[in-house]
Amino acid sequence: MTTPPGADTQVCVRHPDRPTGLRCTRCDRPSCPQCLREASVGLQCVDCVAAGARTVVRGRDLRRPTAVVVPTLIALNVAVFAWTVADTGSVQDNTAGAVFGGGALVPLQVAAGDWWRLLTWGFLHIGPIHLLFNMVALWFIGRDVELALGRLRFSVLYGASLLGGSAAVMVFGSPLTATAGASGAIFGLMGALVVLLRRMRLPATSAMVIIGLNVVFSLTFPGISLLGHLGGLVVGTAVAAGMSYGPARSRPVVGLWIAAGIVVALVLAVVLRDLSFGSVVCTATACHVGG
């Protein structure tokens, strides 16, 4: 490297007592050999090397977003489970208290005015094993779906799937059977994952096998709401299809409108089922249907 004119009066920016004929190829400031590092093109000063490293780290962070809604949902489910345990004083028998009884999905109690049950049932779990299986499924399936759709559309998908399970239980289930668990919404995420994989032309066989095994599991073991699972699966698949297909420019807005239309249809189905029960009065021990 040749020494530029005026090198005898040029000093290092970090060491003013050191004359130098070298400059940083990035910022063009004079630097002594101790302050220069080899780069892909020429020599760069230590300040430019450090700035470049920070830029690379920020770029990687932007290219690798993290899920936020899924961990929040898991935290809510765990917190509600802890609440039911504190209410009953038992980890295994956490369904006997007022918290669980006041939030589980019972169609006749919804018809009596407990509309919050259409959502709260999705955050209640029957024992720690039920909670563990659902939260593991939510973590591994939900993260991919959230990163693919974004936080807003994922939240809408999850809520619609949960309501889809509620509507299926309300319309087709036993009026007095209590249902609880996040499985309905998680089945909606399973259906959404299949849609997204098909949309991206990726193999969806593994996801479909997981759905099939869970349906068989729902049919085989007692106490599991097949209706809640299937309702969430159908609605989640439909909502994800609306969000994934269509004109690219208007797809996000159209997908949200389709989801809104599906939610309105579900609410209408629940209202009609409510009206079919007639006048319902629930006490602490039983529900009574009037004329």
Can you give the pLDDT at residue 6? 45
Q: Is residue 290 part of a domain?
A: no
Residues 142 and 228 occupy one common structural domain: yes
The three-state (H, E, C) secondary structure of 225-285, written as one string: CHHHHHHHHHHHHHHHHHHHCCCCCCHHHHHHHHHHHHHHHHHHHHHHHHHHHCCEEECCC
Q: Which residues, other chains included, contact 32 with Cβ-Cβ below 8 Å and sequence gap of 6+?
A: 12, 14, 15, 18, 20, 22
Check whether 124 has a pLDDT greater than 80: yes
CB atoms < 10 A from the CB of 74, how many? 18
Rounded to two decimals, what is the model's pTM? Answer: 0.75
Can you give the pLDDT at residue 54? 63
Catalytic (active-site) positions: 183, 229
H or E, element range at 38: strand 36-38
Q: Is residue 179 part of a domain?
A: yes
Residues 139 and 78 occupy one common structural domain: yes
Q: Is residue 291 part of a domain?
A: no
What tens digit of pLDDT does each residue of 15-31 get?
Answer: 888 888 788 878 888 88
Q: Is residue 21 part of a domain?
A: yes
Angle at 90 between CA 112 and CA 162, to 5 degrees: 45
Residues 228 and 122 occupy one common structural domain: yes
Can you give the pLDDT at residue 57? 43
Number of domains in the chain: 2
Of 54-68, 219-233, 245-259, the range with the lowest mean pLDDT is: 54-68
Check whether 160 has a pLDDT greater than 50: yes
- 200: tokens are 């991206």
Q: How confident is the model at residue 220 (pLDDT cuts 50, 70, 90)?
A: low
Average pLDDT, the chain: 85
CA distance 72 to 182: 14
Residues 58 and 114 occupy one common structural domain: no
Q: Which residues, other chains included, contact 135 with Cβ-Cβ below 8 Å and sequence gap of 6+?
A: 74, 77, 78, 182
Q: Which residues, other chains included, contact 262 with Cβ-Cβ below 8 Å and sequence gap of 6+?
A: 160, 164, 235, 238, 239, 242
- Percent of the chain beyond pLDDT 90? 49
Residues 56 and 82 occupy one common structural domain: no
Residues 245 and 123 occupy one common structural domain: yes
Domain with 49, as residue range(s), is 7-63
